Chain A
Protein backbone atom coordinates (compact mmCIF):
# COMPACT_ATOMS: atom_id res chain seq x y z
CA UNK A 1 0.00 0.00 0.00
CA UNK A 2 1.33 3.41 -1.01
CA UNK A 3 2.09 5.97 1.67
CA UNK A 4 -0.43 8.76 1.26
CA UNK A 5 0.15 12.42 2.00
CA UNK A 6 -2.33 15.25 2.33
CA UNK A 7 -2.14 18.58 0.55
CA UNK A 8 -4.75 21.31 0.43
CA UNK A 9 -4.63 24.13 -2.13
CA UNK A 10 -6.91 26.87 -3.43
CA UNK A 11 -6.93 27.48 -7.17
CA UNK A 12 -8.25 30.25 -9.41
CA UNK A 13 -9.83 27.81 -11.83
CA UNK A 14 -13.57 27.11 -12.18
CA UNK A 15 -14.56 23.91 -10.38
CA UNK A 16 -15.90 22.43 -13.65
CA UNK A 17 -12.40 22.54 -15.11
CA UNK A 18 -10.95 21.00 -11.95
CA UNK A 19 -13.51 18.18 -12.16
CA UNK A 20 -12.70 17.60 -15.86
CA UNK A 21 -8.96 17.43 -15.13
CA UNK A 22 -9.47 14.90 -12.33
CA UNK A 23 -11.67 12.72 -14.54
CA UNK A 24 -8.99 12.82 -17.27
CA UNK A 25 -6.47 11.62 -14.69
CA UNK A 26 -8.55 8.54 -13.97
CA UNK A 27 -10.42 9.72 -10.89
CA UNK A 28 -14.14 9.04 -10.68
CA UNK A 29 -16.84 10.94 -8.81
CA UNK A 30 -17.68 9.16 -5.57
CA UNK A 31 -20.36 11.51 -4.23
CA UNK A 32 -21.33 15.16 -3.88
CA UNK A 33 -22.77 16.92 -0.87
CA UNK A 34 -23.59 20.37 0.44
CA UNK A 35 -21.83 21.34 3.64
CA UNK A 36 -22.43 24.37 5.82
CA UNK A 37 -19.83 25.97 8.03
CA UNK A 38 -20.25 29.31 9.81
CA UNK A 39 -23.38 29.99 7.75
CA UNK A 40 -21.51 29.56 4.46
CA UNK A 41 -22.65 26.89 2.02
CA UNK A 42 -20.14 24.75 0.15
CA UNK A 43 -20.55 22.27 -2.63
CA UNK A 44 -18.20 19.36 -1.98
CA UNK A 45 -17.34 16.72 -4.57
CA UNK A 46 -15.28 13.67 -3.68
CA UNK A 47 -13.19 11.92 -6.33
CA UNK A 48 -11.51 8.56 -5.83
CA UNK A 49 -8.83 6.58 -7.65
CA UNK A 50 -8.05 3.30 -5.84
CA UNK A 51 -7.09 4.37 -2.29
CA UNK A 52 -6.48 8.00 -3.26
CA UNK A 53 -9.08 10.67 -2.60
CA UNK A 54 -9.48 14.24 -3.79
CA UNK A 55 -12.17 16.56 -2.54
CA UNK A 56 -13.10 19.76 -4.36
CA UNK A 57 -15.05 22.31 -2.32
CA UNK A 58 -16.49 25.50 -3.73
CA UNK A 59 -18.57 28.05 -1.88
CA UNK A 60 -22.05 28.53 -3.32
CA UNK A 61 -24.36 31.51 -3.13
CA UNK A 62 -23.57 35.16 -3.80
CA UNK A 63 -19.84 34.97 -3.31
CA UNK A 64 -16.95 36.16 -5.40
CA UNK A 65 -14.29 35.19 -6.25
CA UNK A 66 -14.88 31.50 -6.76
CA UNK A 67 -11.72 29.73 -5.75
CA UNK A 68 -12.29 26.01 -5.25
CA UNK A 69 -10.32 24.37 -2.46
CA UNK A 70 -8.77 21.07 -3.42
CA UNK A 71 -7.71 18.59 -0.75
CA UNK A 72 -5.63 15.75 -2.06
CA UNK A 73 -5.03 12.58 -0.06
CA UNK A 74 -2.66 10.71 -2.35
CA UNK A 75 0.88 9.74 -3.20
CA UNK A 76 3.54 12.40 -3.74
CA UNK A 77 3.39 11.68 -7.48
CA UNK A 78 -0.37 12.22 -7.55
CA UNK A 79 -0.12 15.46 -5.58
CA UNK A 80 2.55 16.79 -7.94
CA UNK A 81 0.56 15.62 -10.98
CA UNK A 82 -2.61 17.42 -9.85
CA UNK A 83 -0.77 20.60 -8.89
CA UNK A 84 1.04 20.49 -12.25
CA UNK A 85 -2.18 20.12 -14.22
CA UNK A 86 -4.01 22.87 -12.33
CA UNK A 87 -1.11 25.30 -12.16
Chain B
Protein backbone atom coordinates (compact mmCIF):
# COMPACT_ATOMS: atom_id res chain seq x y z
CA UNK B 1 0.00 0.00 0.00
CA UNK B 2 1.30 3.45 -0.89
CA UNK B 3 0.28 6.89 0.33
CA UNK B 4 3.04 9.01 -1.16
CA UNK B 5 1.13 12.03 -2.55
CA UNK B 6 1.16 10.57 -6.07
CA UNK B 7 -2.60 11.08 -6.38
CA UNK B 8 -4.48 14.16 -5.22
CA UNK B 9 -7.96 15.57 -5.69
CA UNK B 10 -6.97 18.19 -8.25
CA UNK B 11 -5.51 15.77 -10.79
CA UNK B 12 -8.06 12.96 -10.81
CA UNK B 13 -10.64 12.94 -13.65
CA UNK B 14 -14.09 14.44 -13.03
CA UNK B 15 -15.71 11.00 -12.86
CA UNK B 16 -13.44 10.01 -9.96
CA UNK B 17 -13.69 13.45 -8.30
CA UNK B 18 -17.50 13.13 -8.14
CA UNK B 19 -17.05 10.47 -5.46
CA UNK B 20 -15.63 13.19 -3.20
CA UNK B 21 -18.12 15.90 -4.15
CA UNK B 22 -20.00 15.66 -0.84
CA UNK B 23 -17.03 17.11 1.02
CA UNK B 24 -15.03 19.11 -1.51
CA UNK B 25 -15.25 21.19 -4.64
CA UNK B 26 -13.12 22.36 -7.55
CA UNK B 27 -13.78 24.60 -10.52
CA UNK B 28 -12.13 22.30 -13.00
CA UNK B 29 -9.50 19.63 -13.51
CA UNK B 30 -6.10 20.78 -12.11
CA UNK B 31 -7.69 23.65 -10.18
CA UNK B 32 -7.33 24.11 -6.43
CA UNK B 33 -9.63 21.85 -4.40
CA UNK B 34 -11.34 23.22 -1.29
CA UNK B 35 -13.27 21.52 1.50
CA UNK B 36 -16.99 22.30 1.12
CA UNK B 37 -17.86 21.30 4.66
CA UNK B 38 -15.88 20.46 7.78
CA UNK B 39 -14.88 16.80 7.64
CA UNK B 40 -12.59 14.23 9.18
CA UNK B 41 -10.18 12.31 6.99
CA UNK B 42 -10.43 9.06 8.91
CA UNK B 43 -7.59 7.35 7.03
CA UNK B 44 -4.96 10.00 7.86
CA UNK B 45 -6.56 11.11 11.13
CA UNK B 46 -6.87 14.73 10.04
CA UNK B 47 -9.62 17.30 10.30
CA UNK B 48 -10.39 19.91 7.63
CA UNK B 49 -12.56 23.01 8.06
CA UNK B 50 -14.86 24.27 5.32
CA UNK B 51 -12.72 26.31 2.89
CA UNK B 52 -9.45 24.52 3.64
CA UNK B 53 -7.38 23.82 0.53
CA UNK B 54 -6.95 20.09 -0.03
CA UNK B 55 -4.83 20.35 -3.15
CA UNK B 56 -3.29 23.59 -4.37
CA UNK B 57 -3.11 24.11 -8.15
CA UNK B 58 0.15 25.96 -7.51
CA UNK B 59 1.62 22.92 -5.74
CA UNK B 60 0.20 20.16 -7.90
CA UNK B 61 2.84 17.55 -7.00
CA UNK B 62 2.18 17.73 -3.27
CA UNK B 63 -1.52 17.42 -2.44
CA UNK B 64 -2.51 18.15 1.13
CA UNK B 65 -4.91 15.22 1.08
CA UNK B 66 -3.31 12.25 -0.60
CA UNK B 67 -5.26 9.32 -2.05
CA UNK B 68 -3.87 5.94 -0.94
CA UNK B 69 -3.45 3.17 -3.50
CA UNK B 70 -2.15 -0.32 -4.09
CA UNK B 71 0.76 -0.61 -6.47
CA UNK B 72 0.37 -3.84 -8.41
CA UNK B 73 3.31 -5.31 -10.26
CA UNK B 74 3.30 -8.40 -12.43
CA UNK B 75 6.49 -9.78 -13.86
CA UNK B 76 6.76 -12.33 -16.65
CA UNK B 77 9.87 -14.32 -17.35
CA UNK B 78 10.08 -15.17 -21.02
CA UNK B 79 13.22 -16.58 -22.60
CA UNK B 80 15.50 -15.16 -19.94
CA UNK B 81 14.06 -11.65 -19.96
CA UNK B 82 11.77 -10.24 -17.31
CA UNK B 83 8.86 -8.09 -18.46
CA UNK B 84 7.06 -5.87 -15.99
CA UNK B 85 3.46 -4.73 -16.05
CA UNK B 86 2.48 -2.32 -13.30
CA UNK B 87 -0.65 -0.44 -12.41
CA UNK B 88 -2.10 1.35 -9.38
CA UNK B 89 -5.52 0.74 -7.87
CA UNK B 90 -6.91 3.65 -5.89
CA UNK B 91 -8.66 3.15 -2.57
CA UNK B 92 -12.40 3.81 -2.81
CA UNK B 93 -13.58 6.95 -0.98
CA UNK B 94 -16.54 6.46 1.28
CA UNK B 95 -18.16 9.56 2.78
CA UNK B 96 -20.36 9.02 5.83
CA UNK B 97 -21.92 11.16 8.51
CA UNK B 98 -20.97 9.98 11.99
CA UNK B 99 -21.19 11.27 15.53
CA UNK B 100 -17.66 12.12 16.58
CA UNK B 101 -15.97 13.50 19.66
CA UNK B 102 -14.66 16.97 18.80
CA UNK B 103 -11.24 18.25 19.77
CA UNK B 104 -10.77 21.87 20.81
CA UNK B 105 -9.47 22.76 17.33
CA UNK B 106 -12.46 21.10 15.68
CA UNK B 107 -14.88 22.90 18.00
CA UNK B 108 -13.26 26.23 17.15
CA UNK B 109 -13.43 25.50 13.42
CA UNK B 110 -17.05 24.40 13.52
CA UNK B 111 -17.86 27.16 16.05
CA UNK B 112 -19.64 24.97 18.53
CA UNK B 113 -19.31 24.25 22.22
CA UNK B 114 -20.61 20.70 21.91
CA UNK B 115 -18.14 17.94 22.75
CA UNK B 116 -19.55 15.65 20.08
CA UNK B 117 -21.70 16.11 17.00
CA UNK B 118 -22.55 14.68 13.59
CA UNK B 119 -19.78 15.38 11.12
CA UNK B 120 -18.81 14.21 7.63
CA UNK B 121 -16.16 11.47 7.68
CA UNK B 122 -14.11 10.51 4.64
CA UNK B 123 -12.95 6.91 4.71
CA UNK B 124 -10.84 5.04 2.20
CA UNK B 125 -11.76 1.42 1.54
CA UNK B 126 -9.07 -0.79 0.03
CA UNK B 127 -10.08 -2.58 -3.18
CA UNK B 128 -10.71 -6.30 -2.95
CA UNK B 129 -7.80 -8.54 -3.91
CA UNK B 130 -9.84 -9.96 -6.80
CA UNK B 131 -9.78 -6.49 -8.39
CA UNK B 132 -5.99 -6.68 -8.60
CA UNK B 133 -5.88 -10.02 -10.39
CA UNK B 134 -4.96 -10.42 -14.02
CA UNK B 135 -6.55 -13.43 -15.65
CA UNK B 136 -4.17 -14.70 -18.29
CA UNK B 137 -4.92 -17.27 -20.98
CA UNK B 138 -2.57 -20.21 -21.34
CA UNK B 139 -2.37 -19.78 -25.09
CA UNK B 140 -0.90 -16.80 -26.94
CA UNK B 141 -0.66 -13.54 -25.00
CA UNK B 142 -0.21 -10.17 -26.65
CA UNK B 143 0.95 -7.93 -23.88
CA UNK B 144 1.84 -4.26 -24.13
CA UNK B 145 4.89 -4.06 -21.92
CA UNK B 146 6.92 -0.91 -21.57
CA UNK B 147 9.60 -2.01 -19.16
CA UNK B 148 11.93 -4.90 -19.66
CA UNK B 149 14.80 -5.87 -17.46
CA UNK B 150 17.26 -8.56 -18.41
CA UNK B 151 18.24 -11.12 -15.81
CA UNK B 152 21.51 -12.98 -16.24
CA UNK B 153 21.99 -16.16 -14.25
Contact = CB atoms under 8 A, between A and B. Distances in A.
B128 A31 contact: yes
Contacts of A62: 13, 29
B135 A6 contact: yes
Q: Which of B7, B86, B127, B146 has most chain A Cβ within 10 Å?
A: B127
A53 B14 CA distance: 28
B96 interface: no
A43 B87 CA distance: 13
Contacts of B69: 36
B141 to A, nearest CB: 9
Report the contact-size class of chain A (Cβ under 8 Å from the partner). Answer: 20 to 34
A5 to B, nearest CB: 7
A76 to B, nearest CB: 12
Nearest to B142: A8
Interface string B127-148: 1101100011100000000100
Question: Chain B CB within 10 Å — which of A7, A33, A34, A38 has the most?
Answer: A34
B88 interface: yes
Contact of A30 (B14, B86, B89, B128): B128
Interface of B: 7, 12-16, 29, 69, 86-90, 92, 127-128, 130-131, 135-137, 146
Interface of A: 5-7, 30-38, 41, 43-44, 46, 53, 55, 60-62, 71, 73
Given A6-B137, A34-B90, A44-B131, 14 more contacts: A30-B128, A31-B128, A32-B92, A33-B90, A34-B12, A34-B89, A35-B87, A36-B89, A37-B88, A46-B128, A53-B130, A55-B135, A62-B13, A71-B135
7 contacts: A34-B12, A35-B87, A36-B7, A46-B128, A53-B130, A60-B15, A71-B135
